[in-house]
Amino acid sequence: MTAEATEIPTGRWRRAWSVIDERLGISGLAYPVPAHANGIGYILGGITFFGFLILAATGVWLAQFYHPTPEAARESVLYIMTVAPLGDIARGVHFWTANLVMATVLLHTGRIFVTGAYKRPREINWLIGLGLLSITIGLIFTGTVLKWDQEGFEALGHNVEIGDLLGAFGFWFSPTLSASLPIVGRLYIAHVVILPALGTFLLIAHFLLVKRHGISAQPADFDAAVDGGPEPSKAGSTFAVHLVRMVGFGLVILAVTTLLSLVVQAPLGPAPDPSIEVSKPWWMFLPFYPFEDWFGLPALIWAPGLLIGALALVPFIDRSRYRAPGRRRALIIAGAIVLVALVALVAYATIEPVKSHVGEM
Ligand code: HEM
């Protein structure tokens, strides 16, 4: 008998597994990862990824019934809510998962900031992450317009005026770019093709770099090694276990959003009235709403631009060799101040009366 033949396990299931594994190399996923990689803080990126899978699956179903023209868009959303099989639930899960994904991606960013995981050699992956954050926001923005209700129409008004402000660079945002396809059709293409394609490309790069660098050590262990202590352990669990936990958390998200979709319907406002501006944006855009009041629409370019720009500089400003928050006090305090300011802006934007911004440039 050959050596290969003697290695084949005896039980039927084990034999089947061995046949599949020999071809797909699934057991290769059981490579070592540190035990802390399975803690919630270090699995937030994976949960976000699972959320994107839910968004893709529900989005494909919604696309079977959605009609991206100004005349039919809102009617087709109503059709999804009332007639299409599982339409209302798919729409609800899509809506609630988008909210949760935004929350988990922000928490993921926060974890990386606090644990200094953006430091060498992960600076580029931090920047790729910022690209992913921008794409997430772009997906939520375009999704809002697609509903073609009052809120979506006002969001589109902002989109068009921002395009004007960007001058030649804003040509894509202009309704006049294409005479043959209304802008809602182009925003639909951005929502279902351009942004997902860019996001997939960045995600692949993000994951390849996480695999290449390994998950960062816990700050205390890393700092102890900097001070001459033992190297942090790179083992303790396996990626297969990490993956199972990620799917577990992801299924919890699916259960929660399914439940939410049954209890609280995803909103759809009245048909748009172009003569009024009565909506406030989703919570993730609210920090910039007061800026619009104070400085006008251009603030919607420079305020988020400054924030993303400042975040992009973080790995290059923080030159400390250490990662523990206690040893990076100035940066952590600066981060906390920005966070408190953002929360305060959201609170202020929530209670202030609705203001009119579009058409006041
Ligand atoms: C939008 C979707 C995103 C997805 C799906 C995603 C996914 C992931 C995953 C699965 C990991 C492995 C460890 C973990 O889960 O914490 C990871 C690590 C990482 N991510 Fe993200 N991420 C996203 C956005 C971001 C953002 C916005 C940033 C920062 C601006 C970022 C920066 C990083 C860095 C630096 C690491 C390495 C962390 C370490 O080694 O401890 N990611 N990401």
Residue 55: CATH number of its domain: 1.20.810.10
Evaluate the CA torsion angle 283, 200, 245, 234 in order and state its sign: negative
What's the pLDDT score for residue 162? 92
What's the pLDDT score for residue 226? 97
34 bridge partner residues: 236
C-alpha dihedral, 75 to 81 to 85 to 87, nearest 10°: 100
User: What is the best residue among 38, 104, 200, 210 to mutate for testing ligand 1's pocket, by most ligand atoms within 8 Å of CB?
Assistant: 210
Protein residue with least CA distance to atom 17, ligand 1: 45
Domain contains 19: no
Protein residue with least CA distance to atom 31, ligand 1: 129
32 bridge partner residues: 238
Residue 323's closest CA among 130, 113, 45, 154? 113
- CA of 209 from ligand 1 middle (Å) equals 10
What's the pLDDT score for residue 10? 74
Domains: count for the chain? 1
- CA of 208 from ligand 1 middle (Å) equals 11
Residue count (the chain) = 361
Statement: residue 6 has pLDDT above 90: no
CA distance 314 to 18: 47
- CA of 105 from ligand 1 middle (Å) equals 8
356 falls in which pLDDT band (50, 70, 90)? confident
Domain contains 165: yes
- CA of 272 from ligand 1 middle (Å) equals 38
Protein residue with least CA distance to atom 43, ligand 1: 45
CA distance 97 to 123: 29
Residue 60's closest CA among 86, 32, 28? 86
Domain contains 131: yes
Protein residue with least CA distance to atom 7, ligand 1: 45
The mean pLDDT of the chain is 95
Determine the structural domain holding residue 41 and report its residue range. 32-275
Domain contains 75: yes
Evaluate the CA torsion angle 152, 157, 158, 160 in order and state its sign: positive
Q: Determine the longest span between alpha carbons in the chain, in angstroms.
A: 84
Domain contains 232: yes
Residue 247's closest CA among 28, 51, 9, 113? 51
- Residues 304 and 105: beta-carbon distance below 8 Å: no
Q: Assign residue 119 a region (left: φ > 0; alpha: ψ between -120 and 50; beta: otherwise).
A: beta
**Average pLDDT, integer, range 273-301:** 94
Residue with tokens 């040509």: 171
Domain contains 147: yes
CA distance 178 to 186: 9
Domain contains 148: yes
What are the pLDDT digits (tens) for 169-206? 899 999 999 999 999 999 999 999 999 999 999 999 99
What's the pLDDT score for residue 355? 83
Domain contains 120: yes
Statement: residue 336 has pLDDT above 90: yes
- CA of 206 from ligand 1 middle (Å) equals 7
- Residue 235: CB atoms within 10 A of its CB come to 10
Give residue ranges with CB within 6 A of ligand 1.
42-46, 48-49, 105, 108-109, 112, 117-118, 122, 125-126, 129-130, 132-133, 136, 203, 206, 210, 215-216
Tell me if residue 170 falls in helix, strand or coil: helix
- DSSP symbol at 247: H
CA distance 309 to 342: 16
**Average pLDDT, integer, range 260-282:** 95
- Residues 55 and 203: beta-carbon distance below 8 Å: no
What are the pLDDT digits (tens) for 288-319? 999 999 999 999 999 999 999 999 999 999 99
Protein residue with least CA distance to atom 12, ligand 1: 45
Tell me if residue 106 falls in helix, strand or coil: helix
Protein residue with least CA distance to atom 38, ligand 1: 117
What are the pLDDT digits (tens) for 12-58? 999 999 999 999 999 999 999 999 999 999 999 999 999 999 999 99
